[in-house]
Amino acid sequence: MLNHDHKDAILPEIVLASGSPRRSEILASVGWGFVKDVPDIDESLRPDETPEAYVERLALEKASAIAGKWPGRLVLGADTTVVLGGEVIGKPADMDDARRMIRSLSGETHDVITGVALVRDSSSATGIQRTAVTFAAMSDAEIEFLAREGDPLDKAGAYAVQAQAALFIRGISGDYWNVVGLPINLVYELYRGFEVAGKTSGSI
């Protein structure tokens, strides 16, 4: 159900095409009302696809898959991945894979890249946010600690910046919320442009 209050003029209720609790928490933290409708799409990386093209495509596919069920409603899709040395590091397959990922990040700087898409009916807008994250060098015991305590299996790169991984992160260059899972400023900027374009064309 739509909320009819003073926030509607700035933050109309949207449909979040994601099951990520972190994305839900970020939207809720800024007072952006939403309902969740989780899409089921193939998230495989295509041959020769760049990380930027990959996350932007998935974000748009997620939002588009849900938009048909919600005519006239604004749908938000997002996809986040970790890139180290040009290689996409997705979610770990198991705990051994999580340990491998964390070890590869130890003492290195990697990029967190999120694709964002807004879709309403046949209209869409997309964008990409990149943030650099530097980890301190970690001992075997610290890697094991982060793997065991950090709940890594549902997270790109096998870590959450706002949890145990914060012990080992030396620096973040760029949007912190992007690393959490949703660059909320980019979402809002896309929304503002989306609405202006729609009003200009007479479609809203």
Instruction: State both tokens at 95.
Output: 């705990």
Q: Which is catalytic among the residues 5, 40, 48, 79?
A: 79
- Which has more pLDDT, 7 or 35? 35
* pLDDT score, position 198: 58
* pLDDT score, position 3: 45
Where do runs of H (alpha helix) occur along 51-139?
Answer: 51-67, 95-105
Whether 2 has a pLDDT exceeding 70, the answer reads: no
The reply to whether 79 belongs to the active site is yes
Whether 115 has a pLDDT exceeding 90, the answer reads: yes
Distance CA 140, CA 70 (A): 48
Under the banding of pLDDT at 50, 70 and 90, the label for residue 194 is confident
Model confidence pLDDT, tens digit, residues 153-168: 888 899 999 999 999 9
What is the set of domains in the chain, with CATH numbers? 6-201 (3.90.950.10)
* pLDDT score, position 55: 96
- CB 118, CB 70: distance < 8 Å: no
Question: Long-range contacts for 4-13 (Cβ within 8 Å, ≥24 apart)?
Answer: 7/31, 7/33, 12/74
Mean pLDDT of 54-71: 96
* Residue 102, burial from CB neighbour count under 10 angstroms (0-12, 13-18, 19+): buried
pTM above 0.85, yes or no: yes
* pLDDT score, position 203: 31
